[in-house]
Structures are given as structure tokens and as C-alpha cells.
């Protein structure tokens, strides 16, 4: 997915899900039934969230509803394909402390193949920045990373959901690896609970740790996706990494909203 107009172009190779979001006083325990506060249905998925975040900053970037939602944000959906399975779904519970628990069902996201990536290589050619995540099959993610590296693009990998360490040949294909603390722990086998732990995990991944601004979270759902989308949009526009990090925010704002807050 990329934007149809504008100098900066971000292409996302990833997932589209319909998020079913319940807010509750806390996350339920196994076997427990808990009364919630509210319910909402949101067009999302890590790929969709990241594309929207990038598009709202001016970058290129259930089925028909997901596609129409992306188009409404000015995102080029010419490389979005329809599969045989049901549309991907994410079941999300957000507690009063703004933490979440998420279960995803891949649906058609699991049908994305390396051949599909190759078929739409022209979209990668036009990109300045390419973003991948792990909500699609690993072989497909690697094919996208390799194609983006071969084409000389800036490559971002959000290793989520992380279930095991990344294959050794993936990291040389990636410019920016952006995990959260749980994903960093899974990738390295190290406990990651403090900034010092994060520095150790970063060293284990042979990466560089950058400090992001501290914020008060209202809802952590899509916060990481938004950070990555905004970060990618800034890189595509030529910002250096420190400026791109400072500009990225944990919600999905428009450029006007960000400009008004600074």
C-alpha cells in the first residue's frame, strides 16, 4: 500500500484486520467472564495502521470496509489482494490502565505469498521506505525485505507478533528494527523490563538503541504501529533519525494536529 501522490512514499507489506475492541476495568483471568465498559469495531491490522499513520503525516504510503477505509486516507490500494479465507480479525481487550491483550486470526493475511510480493514489485520500486511486520507468513516477509534491500530502499521491520528469534539472515536486510519490550525479549531470550534491559537486548541484536519521548498513554492499541508509520513518513521526507523519533506520536494524528501541539 502506498500513497498515490506526493514526494514521500511509504509502502507497507502487511496485514489488514478488523479490530473488535472491548474496554474493561482490567484484563480477565483464564476462565473468567468479565463485564466490559464499551465495544467498538475498527478497521486496522498492523499493516493498515502503519499505512494510515504514514498517510496522515503526508507520506505515500472486514474486506470492502477495510479497503474503503484505506482509500479514504488517500492510500493507494492497487496492490491489496482478496483471498479465499475470511478477512483477518483481531480481538482486543483494553483495561483501565490502557494496557491491552490481543488475539489475532490471520484469515486472508495468511494467504500472502512471495509470488504476490514479486507481482507488485513496481510498488516497492516507487517507495522511499518499506515497512514489514510478522502478521503475514515468514517466507513472504523475508521476500519483501530482500526485495526492498535489493532495490535500495529504507527498510523497517516491526517484529510483531514475535514468537521466536528472527532468522540470522533477516537482520542484514533491515535498517530499523522496532520491537516493543515483549518482542525484544522473545527475539533475544533476555528479560526486558527496564531501560537497562532494553540496552542489553539491543546489544544482543547488534542494533542501536534510540531514546523516544515519554508520553502518557490513553490506549496502547496501535501505538507502536502509529509510531512506526509516522517514523517512516519522516524518514521518507528526509528527516534524520533523531528528528523522526521526536515527531512520532502514540496515536494516529494528522499533520495539522501534530503541528498544533508543537
| Catalytic machinery residues | 225
Q: Measure the CA–CA gap between 93 and 111, rounded to whole angstroms.
A: 26
Residues 175, 10, 217, 23, Cα dihedral to 10°: -120
Q: Which three cell numbers stand for residue 130?
A: 518499506
Cross-strand partners of 154: 129
Q: Which three cell numbers stand for residue 81?
A: 489482494
CB 138 within 8 A of CB 144: no
Q: Measure the CA–CA gap between 22 and 38, rounded to whole angstroms.
A: 6
Q: Measure the CA–CA gap between 136 and 87, rounded to whole angstroms.
A: 13
Per DSSP, 109 falls in state G
Residue with cell 490481543: 102
Neighbours of 79 (CB within 10 A): 18
Q: How far apart are the first and last CA of the chain?
A: 29
Q: Measure the CA–CA gap between 89 and 66, rounded to whole angstroms.
A: 11
Neighbours of 10 (CB within 10 A): 35
Amino acid at each position: 500500500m502506498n500513497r498515490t501522490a506526493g514526494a514521500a512514499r511509504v509502502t507497507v507489506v502487511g496485514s489488514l484486520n478488523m479490530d473488535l475492541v472491548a474496554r474493561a476495568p482490567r484484563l480477565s483471568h483464564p476462565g473468567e467472564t468479565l463485564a466490559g465498559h464499551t465495544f467498538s469495531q475498527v478497521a486496522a491490522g498492523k499493516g493498515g495502521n502503519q499505512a494510515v499513520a504514514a498517510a496522515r503525516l503526508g507520506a505515500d504510503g472486514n474486506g470492502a470496509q477495510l479497503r474503503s477505509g484505506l482509500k479514504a486516507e488517500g492510500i493507494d490500494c492497487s496492490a491489496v489482494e482478496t483471498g479465499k479465507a475470511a478477512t483477518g480479525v483481531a480481538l482486543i481487550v483494553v483495561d483501565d490502565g490502557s494496557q491491552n491483550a490481543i488475539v489475532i486470526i490471520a484469515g486472508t493475511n495468511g494467504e500472502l505469498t512471495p509470488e504476490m510480493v514479486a507481482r507488485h514489485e513496481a510498488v516497492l520500486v516507487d517507495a522511499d521506505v518499506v515497512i514489514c511486520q510478522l502478521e503475514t507468513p515468514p517466507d513472504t516477509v523475508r521476500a519483501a525485505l530482500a526485495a526492498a534491500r535489493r532495490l535500495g530502499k529504507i527498510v523497517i521491520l516491526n517484529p510483531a507478533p514475535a514468537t521466536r528469534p528472527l532468522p540470522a539472515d533477516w537482520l542484514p536486510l533491515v535498517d530499523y528494527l522496532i520491537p516493543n519490550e515483549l518482542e525484544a525479549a522473545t527475539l533475544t531470550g533476555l528479560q526486558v523490563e527496564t531501560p537497562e534491559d532494553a540496552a542489553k537486548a539491543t546489544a544482543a541484536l547488534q542494533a542501536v538503541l534510540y531514546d523516544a519521548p515519554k508520553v502518557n498513554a490513553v490506549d496502547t492499541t496501535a501505538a507502536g504501529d502509529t509510531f512506526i508509520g509516522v517514523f517512516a513518513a519522516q524518514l521518507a521526507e528526509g528527516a534524520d533519525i533523531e528528528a523522526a523519533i521526536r515527531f512520532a506520536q502514540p496515536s494516529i494524528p494528522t499533520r495539522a494536529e501534530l503541528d498544533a501541539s508543537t
